[in-house]
Amino acid sequence: MAINVNTVYQTVLLILNKEQRGYMTPVEFNKTGAQAQLEIFENYFDTLNQQIRIPQTDTDYADRVVGLDEKISIFKEFGNATSISSSNVFNLPLPYTGTSSTLLMVTAPVLTTAATTQYVIGNNANNNTVTAEEILNSEIQVFLNSQMVLNTDYSITGKTITFNSQPVINQNITVNAYPKEFYRLGNLFYTNNAIPTQELERVGRGDLFHLLSSSLTKPSTTYPIYVYEKNQITVYPTSIVNGINASYIRKPLSPVWNFSVGGSNQYVYSPSSSFDFELHPADQTELILKILLYAGVVIQSPEIIQVAASQVQQEQTNQKS
Amino acid sequence: MPRPDGGLITETNRQYYAGAQQKYITAAGVGQTMTSTFDTDLEFGSSDPLNGLYGLNNFVLYTSPNALTWTELTPATTAQTATATENNAASNTVQLAAANASILAGMTLYGAGITGNPTGRKVVSVDQATFIVTLDGTVTIPGAATTPVLFQFDSPFTMVGNIITIAASLLLNSYLKIQLKETPIQDNHGSYEYTRLNDVIDNFLIAYVGAGKLIPSVKRTDVIFHAKRGLQEFSYDTLKSIKSQELTINTSLSVIIPQDYVNYVRLSWTDAHGVQHTIFPANTLTTNPYASPAQDNLGVPTQDSFNSNITGTSQIEAAWASNDPRRISGAFTNQENITSDVLSPGGFYELALGQRYGLNPETSQRNGWFTINEREGTFSFSSDLANRLIALEYVSDGNAYDLDARIPKMAEDALYAHISHGILASLAQTPEYIVQRYKKERSSKLRNAKIRLSNIKLDQIVQVMRGQSKWLKF
């Protein structure tokens, strides 16, 4: 469930070129596309804050809070926070490593083989490879002869892809890994084997002193608390040194409209090395309008800017009123 | 009786009544786990009865081949004897005389004949074909032809977070049983009468807090605070949370105030028939001075070299301890002894034994007196109570121990109302009429809770009222 990057690019080009206003290169599109996507994504949280304070209707598909939650749910993650040196200080579940995406990795065997459903992810032509942990923290795309395979048709354990059923043989398998980036921390949970899971409460450094000193509200393993500083989580009571899990939001991955050069030196869309917009399909119109807005700036067309801005404004008014 | 099926009862009948949970072993092997589903959390110190921490366990783990004969799982019950056939060379392997499939990795090697016994060396692997045991370090088996050795799991099981992991090997089709000790079983009996404070807090956050509700958001610590404060307040006059201790008054005529004491309900001495007789406070008769500074000739308190007042022994307390309470109550049977009756110093001895004109009921009792000695943190008693068996009934605040942190279901709604009112009253933007509404709601629900917990039963009232037409004789 994503917005096809090629559809968006072609629509943007179509509108831009309608009156021979100009052309937007793939590089410009990728940059403005990422910017527009982030803008819409950021807006989710402010809109949610506004909508949550307004009584909603529970009629199917009309509840805006539910609708927004559906859009945000694409980016919701849940993972284990790792303790630093067995202390009560934990790293975020997904520390941003800064590595760029690794594309077109091959598998072993390279081609789909008879009576084989398991394939191990190797490196790409540039000898780039990923670890099992990086795979776990990445958005993975698998292609068979440049056709993307639905992620429900396979599972990945460590670096091994297991197809649910035997794929057609002698197809090229390629794998793209796009590292996810941490965006916002949600709730933390403490689990100690069969003891019921407890939610941690976030407190500020100022409250911490009073809470630790208070006999009635001091943190316990039943009601633990944490301080969030410098991308690290410090949990109280200090006896908690493992079993911390976090729900969090990750950033949307930047769209990529990749291409090869055709016979007439034209750009030919390359789906197996491109990456779609991750936003909910409901935001496709707004996304195109926002890209058009930036495209208007790029090609210096005030008309485009004006039309796109007014369309965006109208859509947002409609969504929030 | 139904099994737990998603209702509030989560323990089986066996767990509740017998404190036991059983598991059938469907696959033999080591490292098996058993998850405790008792309402009581398991506490674990050690799986070795010889270890000092074993006493911390609130359960015992048993194994059985047939669910009829149970054997406690201890290091001794995992022990396997064998014969080693090594010579004097130090080696990390031990050659056994015969195969023994029950010798497993993780076991510790022992043997009186081994140099440095107990060796502490653990088994890494066992080759059942060659009878060679590989250890995690070297040992020296004496040069004798055969040396008896013993292998056992020093820690046959561990427990973390209510999951027991068995290091020892369990046999196919055998049984494993967690048996709670007597105290946790008894603590659990009757627990359905209560809701845990944790549940109250969680339920409150779910049902009363959220977008579109009167409390849109609240810190969980605020809810915890109001819940615990509510429990404290309710404990004093609403809940059936009277605790009691059976004590004997020794010759010092005092007993230490209980650790979780907040206020007393009643002190009574018990006679040979077990009937209680209320001991009264000596409010107007005497007191325990908080300080008794030593004074100089001018009456000025004196100080020691650390600039603090020097304190002496309280003479008031000494005088009270040596007093015969019958001089107060006048309960003498011998007329000659009453001449110094403190309440009839003029020698109105003929008025003794309750015959005095204007009998003072406050002092006319013979069950003794007590005072609270705040300086020493004790209850002090009059001398006639020496060596008596007493019952001290008192209230705590419901927050002293984890087991206390629960609320009778009869008062659960009152606690929700208390928390709601506490939070709304402290929120700046709450309209005053909302605060007042919740104040009334709290008050009426608390009243309901008090009535419910008063245990007024129709049959009992009827029984008492049957005496309504009895003639009263004076």
Q: How many CA atoms lie within 13 A of B125 on its CB side?
A: 3
Query: By mean pLDDT, which of A93-97, B59-63, B101-105, B321-325 is the weakest?
Result: A93-97
Cβ–Cβ under 8 Å, residues B71 and B64 = yes
Strand B90-95 and strand B254-256: the pairing is: unpaired
Is B206 within 8 Å of chain A by CB?
no
CA distance A191 to chain B (A): 9
Is B375 within 8 Å of chain A by CB?
no
pLDDT band for position B349 (50/70/90)? very low
Query: What pLDDT is stored for residue B116 in this prediction?
Result: 62
Span B182-197, average pLDDT = 91
How many Cβ atoms from other residues are within 10 Å of residue B423's Cβ? 22
The contacts of residue B174 (CB under 8 Å, 6+ apart) are B25, B63, B64, B65
pLDDT at B18 over 80: yes
pLDDT band for position B360 (50/70/90)? confident
Mean of the per-residue pLDDT values for chain B? 87
Would you say the C-alpha torsion B406, B410, B412, B417 has a positive or negative sign?
negative
Q: What share of chain B is helix, strand, coil (3-state, %, to 5)?
A: 25, 25, 45
Q: Using the beta-carbon criterion (under 8 Å), do A222 and B220 form an inter-chain contact?
A: no
Nearest residue in B to A52, CA atom? B211
pLDDT band for position B2 (50/70/90)? low
Query: What pLDDT is stored for residue B240 in this prediction?
Result: 67
Query: What pLDDT is stored for residue A54 in this prediction?
Result: 82
Residue to substitute from A188, A193, A199, A242, interface B, most B β-carbons within 10 A = A193
- Look up residue A143 and give its two tokens: 């292609």
The whole-angstrom separation of Cα B222 and Cα B205 is 11
Pick from B35, B220, B229: which is nearest to A223 by CB? B220
Long-range contacts of A296-305 (CB under 8 A, 24+ apart): A298/A22, A298/A24, A298/A28, A298/A32, A299/A16, A299/A21, A299/A22, A299/A23, A299/A24, A301/A21, A301/A22, A303/A21, A304/A15, A304/A16, A304/A21
The whole-angstrom separation of Cα A305 and Cα A197 is 51
The whole-angstrom separation of Cα A65 and Cα B3 is 40
The whole-angstrom separation of Cα B448 and Cα B454 is 10
Nearest residue in A to B398, CA atom? A216
Residue B90 CB burial class (10 angstroms; 0-12, 13-18, ≥19): exposed
**β-bridge partners, B329:** none
Q: Using the beta-carbon criterion (under 8 Å), do B399 and A216 form an inter-chain contact?
A: yes
Query: What pLDDT is stored for residue A23 in this prediction?
Result: 78
- Single-letter amino acid code for the residue at A135: I
Span B437-458, average pLDDT = 92
The tens digit of pLDDT for each residue in B99-155 reads 888 899 999 998 877 766 666 789 999 998 888 899 888 888 876 678 888 899 999
Span B394-417, average pLDDT = 88
In chain A the first and final C-alpha atoms are separated, in Å, by 27
Query: By mean pLDDT, which of A63-67, B112-116, B317-321, B322-326 is the weakest?
Result: B112-116
In chain B the first and final C-alpha atoms are separated, in Å, by 56
A interface residues, B as partner, C-beta within 8 Å? 52-53, 55, 65, 192-195, 199, 201, 203, 207, 211, 214, 216-217, 222-223, 225
Query: What pLDDT is stored for residue B220 in this prediction?
Result: 92
Query: What pLDDT is stored for residue A50 in this prediction?
Result: 87
The whole-angstrom separation of Cα B315 and Cα B253 is 15
C-alpha distances (whole Å) from B340 to each of A54, A227, B190, B321, B344 are 83, 72, 54, 17, 8
Pick from B37, B160, B224: which is nearest to A193 by CB? B160
Query: What pLDDT is stored for residue B117 in this prediction?
Result: 61
Is B219 within 8 Å of chain A by CB?
yes
The whole-angstrom separation of Cα A100 and Cα A179 is 7
Helix/strand/coil for B231: helix
Higher pLDDT, A306 or B184: B184
pLDDT at B340 over 70: no
The whole-angstrom separation of Cα A252 and Cα A245 is 21
The contacts of residue B443 (CB under 8 Å, 6+ apart) are none
Q: Which helix (H) or strand (E) holds B95?
A: strand B90-95
Q: Using the beta-carbon criterion (under 8 Å), do B221 and A201 form an inter-chain contact?
A: yes
pLDDT at B317 over 60: yes
Nearest residue in A to B198, CA atom? A222
pTM, 2 dp? 0.80
The whole-angstrom separation of Cα A154 and Cα A171 is 15
Residue to substitute from B221, B232, B406, B423, interface A, most A β-carbons within 10 A = B221
Residue to substitute from B224, B397, B419, interface A, most A β-carbons within 10 A = B224
Q: Using the beta-carbon criterion (under 8 Å), do A217 and B211 form an inter-chain contact?
A: no
Pick from A65, A194, A199: which is nearest to B163 by CB? A194
Which residues of chain A make contact with B206, given a CB cutoff of 8 A? none
Is B220 within 8 Å of chain A by CB?
yes
Could you tell me if residue A296 is left (phi over 0), alpha (psi between -120 and 50 degrees) or otherwise beta? alpha
Q: Using the beta-carbon criterion (under 8 Å), do B162 and A53 form an inter-chain contact?
A: no
The tens digit of pLDDT for each residue in B282-306 reads 988 899 999 999 999 999 999 999 9
- CA nearest B386: which of B279, B271, B251? B251
The contacts of residue A266 (CB under 8 Å, 6+ apart) are none
Query: What pLDDT is stored for residue B219 in this prediction?
Result: 92
The whole-angstrom separation of Cα B407 and Cα B385 is 36
3-state secondary structure B329-365: HCCCCCHHHHCCCCCCCCCCHHHCCCCCCCCCCCCCC
The whole-angstrom separation of Cα B211 and Cα A52 is 6
Query: What pLDDT is stored for residue B332 in this prediction?
Result: 61
Kindly provide the ipTM of the predicted complex, given to two decimals.
0.78
pLDDT at B203 over 70: yes
How many Cβ atoms from other residues are within 10 Å of residue B328's Cβ? 22
Q: Which helix (H) or strand (E) holds B371?
A: strand B369-373
Peptide bond into B361 cis (omega under 30): no
Query: What pLDDT is stored for residue B277 in this prediction?
Result: 94
The whole-angstrom separation of Cα B153 and Cα B432 is 67
Q: Using the beta-carbon criterion (under 8 Å), do A223 and B221 form an inter-chain contact?
A: yes
Cβ–Cβ under 8 Å, residues B343 and B330 = yes
Span B156-170, average pLDDT = 93
Query: What pLDDT is stored for residue B399 in this prediction?
Result: 84
Residue B311 carries which DSSP code?
Answer: B
> Which residue stretches of chain A have pLDDT < 50?
98
Query: What pLDDT is stored for residue B473 in this prediction?
Result: 62
The contacts of residue B232 (CB under 8 Å, 6+ apart) are B397, B398, B399
The whole-angstrom separation of Cα B286 and Cα B399 is 33
Residue B155 CB burial class (10 angstroms; 0-12, 13-18, ≥19): middle
Could you tell me if residue A218 is left (phi over 0), alpha (psi between -120 and 50 degrees) or otherwise beta? beta
Query: What pLDDT is stored for residue B358 in this prediction?
Result: 59
Chains A, B: CB contacts within 8 A come to: 45
- Look up residue B49 and give its two tokens: 């009865």
The contacts of residue B18 (CB under 8 Å, 6+ apart) are B185
pLDDT at B341 over 60: no
Would you say the C-alpha torsion A308, A313, A314, A319 has a positive or negative sign?
positive
